Amino acid sequence: MTVYNGNIPSNVNKDAKYSVVNGAGGKMQIRLIFRLSAGEKALVTTTAHPELVKKVNRIKTEYSGAAGGAFYINEFGHVLVPVDQTCYCAGKYDRFLEFDFEGIRIGPQAPEGMKPGEVWKGPRVGVAYTLTAGGKDIRYEKQTRPNVMTEFRLSKAVNPTAAARLAKRLSQHKPNGGRIYINEAREFFSPMELDGEWNQIYLGNLAEDEWFTAPDIELH
């Protein structure tokens, strides 16, 4: 298995990750904790992705001794599986996870017609980046060796003008900068206070804008 060398998810909130869990009859399924409102959440599951379950469990059993547990899918389609303090890549998965709840389809893609600035109703599973103050750049940090954190900026990875263009677009609804998330459908969202309550706000899709290069890893 491959230790992931890209941006590693760090959110500890239970609704910010997917999980492989035991379902009815002992059949493994994928679960999402979906927040309906500030004080209400639902447990939604799907059994439609057995190959993904196998990918996650292969790492979980090898490194923790037991199947099941949290995982993420990032904007490159990489399946990221944390075990203790290490994040492994279980390969690539190109299908979107979708869940049905009370007649509503829940998935990582923004609903048709959704505009930046509106409340993000989709899953809160995503990988965190930081939009710099003033909306001029996007960055993330990771530990590159013991006791050393290295910063990676979009303006260093792509044309600085292109990086500034994307940062400016995202900052239209996040003017002070701060933490933003991107999911497997390349949708951006961010925690913000709206009408006196904290919520996730939709910032738009990456679309044709330039982005960090996918890590060079062995995919299975």
**Domain residue limits at 191:** 127-205
Q: What is the C-alpha to C-alpha distance for residues 29 and 102, in angstroms, rounded to an integer?
A: 19
pTM, 2 dp: 0.93
Contact indicator for 209, 200 with CB cutoff of 8 Å: no
Integer Cα distance of 26 and 127 in angstroms: 30
User: 59 and 94: one domain?
Assistant: yes
Q: Are residues 64 and 134 in the same domain?
A: no
Same domain, 17 and 95: yes
Q: What single-letter amino acid sits at 201?
A: I
User: 98 and 12 in one domain?
Assistant: yes
Structural tokens at position 28 = 């493994």
* DSSP code string of 177-209: -EEEEE-TT-EEEEEEEETTEEEEEEEEE-TTS
121: nearest Cα among 16, 33, 35, 19: 35
Domain boundary among 73, 106, 139: 106
pLDDT value of residue 10: 80
Clarify whether residues 46 and 102 are in a common domain: yes
φ, ψ of residue 74 to 5 degrees: the values are -90, -175
Element (H, E) at 171: helix 160-171
* Tally of structural domains, the chain: 2
218 belongs to a structural domain: no
Q: Is residue 12 part of a domain?
A: yes
Q: How far is residue 41 from each of residues 31, 33, 97, 127, 187, measured CA to CA in Å?
A: 13, 7, 18, 21, 22
94 and 131 in a single domain? The answer is no
Domain boundary among 106, 140, 157: 106
Examine the domain organization and report whether 152 and 86 are in the same domain: no
Could you say which residues of the chain have pLDDT below 70?
1, 12, 38, 196, 219-220
Looking at residue 17, its pLDDT comes to 94
Residue 24 is assigned to a structural domain of this protein: yes
Is residue 91 situated within a structural domain? yes
